[in-house]
Structure 1
């Protein structure tokens, strides 16, 4: 099946009891065992099934299956938010004394997690000097457990050379983990280019309507964890937190996603609510259609701003003169989603006047909504950084980030025009 069909049908045909064709909301905490042996088999992971919604839920399962299928992975894990997905994916592979290597261009919440929270647990995060594969390679050592990047940086709009990143990571025996939130699997499939783990804030484009938080981890099933027993002991030695299971022996290619479910999720509980999974599935059904409209509108907005005499610069990799345009062609067929940024010649103050004058664009810090959204990163998403950190992350004081929605393009451009007049 093609993407648009997978998003509607994969992982669910109809409810076996009622024959309902919409995925039911299994608003349920615990699930009954047939008998003591059935319960034991479920806890031993010997048979598939449901135990407790903190670990798995039938509604969540459909979301996991669909996103994994769209990404080309073997399995997914749904959690309460994108931030939880990132944290759990890293936690499943690291322990105190380890390090990870990351590009500096990151969503502000991810930067805070990496710069402050993970080090407090003894996990060092090494930020590369830039987003080149060579800069990443310089920082990998024997204690590195993964390489991390965003396929399209938020809000910088940079595009990473995923194939080169995978080559660099694999040459040193570590997996590549990619946040594919901004691109979505409709525009880019990192696993096709060598990524081993993909994470999403499905709150954004997948949900698409600003009404439900959620995160998903997708396991490509391709990284040879068993070849590195000393580097990844959590996958290759008996797991004390789950009655001695050895994940690589029991789950083979799915060892990583199994540990992410049964150790970090099971023990810390950032479970996705079934109601949110239902809402996110409704959004997923129209994702392919919406991404067409998002990207069509975004290039027109970028061209309009670039031609405007009051605009100092525009950053959108869909424009031919953007330094990452060739990467956009390679990885996203020239359609690098619908997040773009720009700055006004009048600097910070002009940017504030423009921002305050917007009428259709909503002033908030989300992205990927069907509605057009605007944000001033220096005072919101990246406010916790100092000026030097903001600059390294690609955030300028005058930067306005737009998440271009699916409204009529005439109305979007009219709103931008009137705000520029202000």
Structure 2
């Protein structure tokens, strides 16, 4: 730089510094790229992938949060992406390609179902859906020679169906097929699927992990147990030599081959990179996830029990209730609570549901879950509106069904809000 740089040059470079400070909070590296120390440093980065060059392929803020979330799920490593939908897509595209097949639970988020039956189908990836997810034989019967993944949710949205993680992962282990579990509703506070045999866990980090409804994000977490002998025939892309005869992904990363492939070849190429600011907020939220989920679960169970006793309520699908068909599985897998998202069905059908959502004051009417605030939605006319009436009925979605996501408010205030509204609903029905 000259002795007397121009105003324009000074405006760009005067604040430049490599000085670091030991911040207690995770620093936000809000930058698109990173400066290389010298010529060889750049070559080394592009040759090995080590360090940071461009935020789409890696960022110190993202890495800190990835390590945090992998640890919470008892995983080996993680890749943070821009949304929960991106996490599901990248996890599936890491293990499957054209001509492959996926076996999935019928009881999954509608956005994931659309991804499978529409988008991935157009890429030549077929899917088969299993309804009786408690039955290992049903999963086994759906597997084909070209099956590359089993996919399910730990707690299904919205009927609270519980996955028998150990039983289904054992079915996959028979032929080296990974079980991918969406653990968004349960969170790692209640259950950690990798500890029960699952291979990969995904989250919509926008929900409980971040917790405050302010950011979008998703994460893929791998158990680090990829076995080339057992699973190699299903994943030739992990065993094939790299460009120019370089070592394969498996030779370089061993048991972490799957997550390394997601990080190096899938997530950055599809461009689903989160903002470092969003990553920071997800990491901040995750620091208090145990406190929030514990309270939300406790509030939800108390409300579910209260609703069960109300004349205006026909049924309550909360897995913490002894009446729920999966209560035994919930007791086996969930620790610290039964979750905070569930459905209940009002007597009076659609009009009762309409009156409810338009009358609540503490509950917020919106399409979201996992917030610190309590939320309500009518699935039949929103999230499940594109399903047939028969399909909705089969999944416990009736005209009077409402889904609630319980927050951290005073449970007394929530019940007071519900009591006021249900009294009006009952007056019209009775």
> TM over 0.5: same fold?
yes
Question: Helix, strand or coil: the match of 2:403?
Answer: strand
Q: Please name the residue that 2:12 is paired with.
A: none
Q: Please name the residue that 2:106 is paired with.
A: 104
Report the CA distance between 1:101 and its aligned residue.
0.3
Q: Is the contact between residue 355 and residue 419 of structure 1 (CA under 8 Å) also seen in structure 2? A: no
Deviates more, 1:370-379 or 1:130-139: 130-139
Report the CA distance between 1:416 and its aligned residue.
0.7
Q: Is the contact between residue 82 and residue 275 of structure 2 (CA under 8 Å) also seen in structure 1? A: yes
Could you say if the C-alpha distance between residues 392 and 137 of structure 1 is closer, same or farther in structure 2, counting changes exceeding 3 Å?
farther
Q: Distance in 2 between matches of 1:334 and 1:210?
A: 23
Q: Are positions 1:339 and 2:341 aligned together?
A: yes
Q: Please name the residue that 1:152 is paired with.
A: 155
Q: Please name the residue that 2:310 is paired with.
A: 308
Report the CA distance between 1:45 and its aligned residue.
2.5
Q: Please name the residue that 1:191 is paired with.
A: 194
State the TM-score, normalizing by the size of structure 2. Answer: 0.91
Question: Helix, strand or coil: the match of 1:157?
Answer: coil
1:382 to 381, 384, 390: 384
Q: Give aligned pairs, total.
A: 406
Question: Helix, strand or coil: the match of 2:280?
Answer: helix
Question: Helix, strand or coil: the match of 1:145?
Answer: strand
Q: Is the contact between residue 175 and residue 231 of structure 2 (CA under 8 Å) also seen in structure 1? A: no
Report the CA distance between 1:354 and its aligned residue.
1.3
Report the CA distance between 1:226 and its aligned residue.
4.8
Could you say if the C-alpha distance between residues 263 and 74 of structure 1 is closer, same or farther in structure 2, counting changes exceeding 3 Å?
same
Q: Distance in 2 between matches of 1:164 and 1:359?
A: 43
What whole-Å deviation, never above 9, does each CA across 1:212-249 have from its counterpart, x for those lacking one? 00000001011314543332111111356x98551111
Q: Are positions 1:71 and 2:73 aligned together?
A: yes
Cα-Cα RMSD: 1.7
Q: Distance in 2 between matches of 1:234 and 1:226?
A: 14
Structure 2 counterparts to residues 35-114 of structure 1, below 5 A: 35-45=38-48, 48-114=50-116
Question: Gaps spanning 5+ residues in structure 1: where?
Answer: 1-14
Report the CA distance between 1:395 and its aligned residue.
2.7
Q: Is the contact between residue 107 and residue 131 of structure 2 (CA under 8 Å) also seen in structure 1? A: no
Could you say if the C-alpha distance between residues 244 and 385 of structure 1 is closer, same or farther in structure 2, counting changes exceeding 3 Å?
farther
Q: Is the contact between residue 328 and residue 335 of structure 1 (CA under 8 Å) also seen in structure 2? A: no
2:241 to 238, 241, 244: 238
Q: Please name the residue that 1:170 is paired with.
A: 173
Structure 2 counterparts to residues 180-219 of structure 1, below 5 A: 180-219=183-222
Q: Distance in 2 between matches of 1:202 and 1:380?
A: 22
Question: Gaps spanning 5+ residues in structure 2: where?
Answer: 1-17, 425-430
- Deviant stretches of 4+, over 6 Å: none
Could you say if the C-alpha distance between residues 114 and 16 of structure 1 is closer, same or farther in structure 2, counting changes exceeding 3 Å?
farther
Could you say if the C-alpha distance between residues 399 and 372 of structure 1 is closer, same or farther in structure 2, counting changes exceeding 3 Å?
same
Question: Helix, strand or coil: the match of 1:78?
Answer: strand
Report the CA distance between 1:26 and its aligned residue.
0.5
Q: Is the contact between residue 159 and residue 318 of structure 2 (CA under 8 Å) also seen in structure 1? A: no
